Amino acid sequence: MSSVLYDVPGPKARRVSLIGSVVGSLLILGLLAWIISTLAQQGIFEGRRWAIFTRADVWTLLGNGIGATLSAAAVAAVIAFPLGLLLCLMRISDLAAIRVPTRIVLEFLRGMPVVLMMFFVLLVFGTNQFIAVVAGLVLYNAAVFAEIIRAGIQSLPKGQREAGLTIGLTSFQSRMIIELPQAVRRMMPSLVAQLVVLLKDTSLGYIVAYGELLRAVQVMADFLGTQFLFPVFFVAAAIYIAINICVSRIAVWIERRGSKKAAGGVAKAEPEPIEAEVA
């Protein structure tokens, strides 16, 4: 698309574009340089501040933080996905008595901040922080998974379900054997994108004092002194972002792989799942 928006640049346009690129890069580099020099003036980059990374215990603490982050995300994802499937089936049930309450519950769960749910579980049920974080993540993401899969099922050609019913499957069998497998495959990119959201949301555990990566940073800063907050925060943020980018890349890879197989008529999702990719 973007290449259609403007002419194939000629020599003059290329020169203008090159100048634009250079000026733009210089501006951005200048801004970065200003940020770095301002920070450097305050002694942020002094060796002694960064020397703590030669200590093994600092890395142990960071490692524990990463472990806590990943384990909360993993447990939550493993529980949220089947729960999402179940909620999705209930949401599209033929029985209004199941469908309507499920819809209300889903709207409720999707409309609430995750951190509020974590806090709720923590205080109302008096659980430990890990369970509160996992429960908050599960409740929210199961609801989102349910909506994503439902969108996938609705995007299937009507004939799929009709064919299933025609050969004598019950409504439930048709859902399980015919529709769900296709829907899940179709929505794979959105589902993985939602996993990134889930992983990112583990950082909310910080707010309920769960010992994840960011909390580990805070603990270290309290323990070693605030002058180390900056380096430790930067390293932790870099690790967090790196992990997330890796998972996002997997999502992109799955999407590409899916669209290659689109000849089979199943894998390519409509350009719609943008909406699933929400914060």
Partner 1 sequence: MPESAHRGSGNRPPIFAPVRDTQPKDVMDVIIENLPLYWEGFLRTLFLSAVSGVIALVLGTVLAAARVSPVAALRGFSMTYVEILRNTPLTIAFFFAAIVLPRLGVKFEQFEVAAIIALSAYTAAFIAEAVRSGVNSVPVGQAEAARSIGMKFGQVLSLIILPQALRTVIPPLINILIALVKNSSVAGAFFVLELFGYGRQLANANGDAVLAVLLGVAFFYLLITVPLGILASTVERKVAIAR
Tell the residue number behind the tokens 């501006």, with chain if given: 27
Residue 271 within binding range of partner 1, rule CB under 8 A = yes
Residue 2 within binding range of partner 1, rule CB under 8 A = yes
Residue 115 within binding range of partner 1, rule CB under 8 A = yes
Considering only residues 235, 240, 258, 269, which one is a binding residue for partner 1 as defined by CB under 8 A?
Answer: 240
Residue 207 within binding range of partner 1, rule CB under 8 A = yes
**Identity (one letter) of the amino acid at 111?**
G
**Counting beta carbons within 10 angstroms of the beta carbon of residue 25, is it exposed (0 to 12), middle (13 to 18) or buried (19 or more)?**
exposed
Q: Pattern of binders to partner 1 over 59-98, x per CB under 8 A?
A: ----------------------------------------
Q: Pattern of binders to partner 1 over 119-138, x per CB under 8 A?
A: xx-xxx--------------
Residue 50 within binding range of partner 1, rule CB under 8 A = no
What residue spans of 96-128 are helical by DSSP H? 96-110, 114-124
Exposure string for 155-191, b = 16+ CB within 10 A, e = fewer: ebeeebbeebeeeebeeeebbeebbbebbbbbbbbbb
Nearest-angstrom CA–CA distance, 184 and 149: 6
Q: By the 8 A CB rule, do 142 and 105 touch?
A: no
Positions in the binding site for partner 1 (CB under 8 A) = 1-2, 4-7, 9, 13, 17, 20-25, 28, 35, 38-39, 42, 44, 107-108, 110-116, 119-120, 122-124, 196, 200-204, 206-209, 214-215, 218, 221, 229-230, 233, 236-237, 240-241, 244-245, 248, 271, 274-275, 277-279
